[in-house]
A and B are shown apart, each in its own frame.
Chain A
Amino acid sequence: MALKSVESQAPRTLSPSTDASERELLERVARSKDQAAFRTLYSNYYQRLSRLLARMSVRREDIEEVVNDTFWVVWTKAGEFRGASQLSTWIIGIAYRRALNALRRAKIRPVSDEPFDEDSVSVASTDDAETDGQWLAQGLARLPVEQRMALELTYTLGHSCEEVAAILDCPVNTVKTRLFRARETLKQVLPSLAGMPGENS
């Protein structure tokens, strides 16, 4: 049986060739403080990190600060990257840890402790796709930040389980458990998931 992946819909993680070209950019930063190379790297990650941080509930006004703190580290520590992981794993991992610090500073609780009440969810749209998006947004908001990040890194950024573990700095089995729980929670929230028929293709 051929199983269709979500590759066609999801922005993918860096291919090996892209990773190699980004490593070259980082080497230029480390070797000669090459600003053009640094600017290109920044541009490659700005949107990805901004979206990830928004998903982590980092306040809009803090997102730029976290992105720039991350690239401050990239600028100052470029020479210390040893290449044991993909460059994207290193950079996104830095952003994740900086974001957790920002959430602590802002005293933001990134998840509600209250049990989910389906009646409390307001979904105004009648468009199916838009409705799914609204349900999902509210479902994601109910997840602990670690579970939300595991989902985001897997489905939006297209990372492997091992890469997600490296970014979140936890064992592979912990990533599997977080995604397992996230999937179960979303099924309680998303009507279309709860009633999902068998594979439709």
Chain B
Amino acid sequence: MSPRIPDTHAEAWALLPWLANGRIQASDREWVEAHVAVCAECRAEIAAQRMVATTMNRDSSPESNETDEQRSFNRLWARIEASESASPASVASGAARTSRSSRTVRWLAAAVIVQGFGLALFGFNALRNSSPTGEIVTVATVPAQPRLNAPAVRIVFAPGASIASINTLLTHQGLTIVGGPGTAGNFTAELSADAVASGASADSVAAVISRDPNVSFAQPVAR
């Protein structure tokens, strides 16, 4: 059966906006263009619709900026975390999924779990010696319990980040991991008392490390 070839002005007229924006269906393009070629009214309408499109695009300059976007995303992320914290089952399954996604995350998760059971169970030296490269020392030497009201940041490390680079980053910023991983692979890290005494805050540290290539996401934790 041959394709339907409508050649009515009304049908072509209805499709002119998509001829104008270049998104008309291939099956319609040929006959609509053929009609427009011989119809002065449709040619004038195409020109008019181009003007509307141009003006709408000129008129629709974005009003928000990257700061607005980041702030907005942070609110959404806090909402997601709050929701998933309230749902232990989803957190557990999500954490299991996420913790399998990266060897680095597994190391960090193991370090946090070790804290939970108490470093005494293994002995600090034994833990340090068990690591062939000693990379986990910094993570494993965090206090077993978060300090009350200590400034903290929430961090998601980049998928390719190495343990060594994470250790270096944490050490330079005076951060110690005290929790995680969350559903999205996020960890909570506290600022050391020394870092706070030297003027660092959760906001400033989050801003600095969010620019580090080893970090996908960082935000201060509201406490």
Interface string of B186-203 (1 = CB under 8 A from A): 100000000000000000
**Is residue B185 contacting chain A, with contact meaning CB distance below 8 A?**
yes
**Is residue B137 contacting chain A, with contact meaning CB distance below 8 A?**
no
Q: Is the CB of A33 within 8 A of B94?
A: yes
Closest to B66 in A: A43
Q: Is the CB of B21 within 8 A of A54?
A: no
**Is residue A180 contacting chain B, with contact meaning CB distance below 8 A?**
yes
Q: Is the CB of A43 within 8 A of B69?
A: yes
Known contacts A50-B62, A154-B17, A199-B47: does B57 contact A35 (CB below 8 Å)? no
Return chain B residues, CB-CB under 8 Å to A31. Answer: 97
Closest to A187 in B: B48
Q: Is the CB of B184 within 8 A of A5?
A: no
Q: Is the CB of A10 within 8 A of B53?
A: yes
Q: Is the CB of A176 within 8 A of B73?
A: no
Q: Is the CB of B51 within 8 A of A196?
A: yes
Known contacts A158-B21, A176-B14: does B217 contact A64 (CB below 8 Å)? no
Counting chain B residues whose Cβ lies within 8 A of the other chain, the interface size class is 35 or more
What is the distance, in angstroms, from A74's C-beta to the closest C-beta of chain B? 10
| Contact of A33 (CB < 8 Å), options: B13, B22, B53, B97 | B97
**Is residue B126 contacting chain A, with contact meaning CB distance below 8 A?**
no
Q: Is the CB of B43 within 8 A of A199?
A: yes
Return chain B residues, CB-CB under 8 Å to A18. Answer: none
Q: Is the CB of B79 within 8 A of A32?
A: no
Closest to A199 in B: B43
Total A-B Cβ pairs within 8 A = 174
Question: How many Å lie between the Cα of A159 and that of B22 in the bound state?
Answer: 9
Question: How many Å lie between the Cα of A6 and that of B46 in the bound state?
Answer: 10
What is the distance, in angstroms, from B107's C-beta to the closest C-beta of chain A? 17
Q: Is the CB of B23 within 8 A of A72?
A: no
Question: A90-98, A113-121, A131-139: which lies at the B interface?
Answer: A131-139
Closest to A179 in B: B17
Return chain A residues, CB-CB under 8 Å to B184. Answer: 33-35, 38
Q: Is the CB of A155 within 8 A of B183?
A: no
Q: Is the CB of A151 within 8 A of B52?
A: yes
Which of A13, A47, A67, A71 has the most chain B CB within a 10 Å cutoff? A47
Closest to B97 in A: A32
Known contacts A32-B101, A54-B63, A68-B75: does B15 contact A132 (CB below 8 Å)? no
**Is residue B130 contacting chain A, with contact meaning CB distance below 8 A?**
no
| Contact of A35 (CB < 8 Å), options: B58, B69, B72, B156 | B156
Interchain residue pairs with CB less than 8 A apart (11):
A1-B33, A6-B20, A6-B21, A35-B186, A51-B62, A72-B80, A129-B55, A136-B56, A161-B23, A176-B14, A186-B52
Interface residues of B (CB under 8 A from A): 13-15, 17-25, 33, 36-37, 40, 43-60, 62-64, 69, 72-73, 75-77, 79-80, 94, 97-98, 101, 156, 158-159, 183-186, 216-217
Q: 8 extra interchain contacts, Cβ-Cβ under 8 A, other than A9-B57, A35-B216?
A: A3-B46, A32-B101, A33-B98, A67-B72, A155-B49, A161-B17, A161-B18, A161-B24
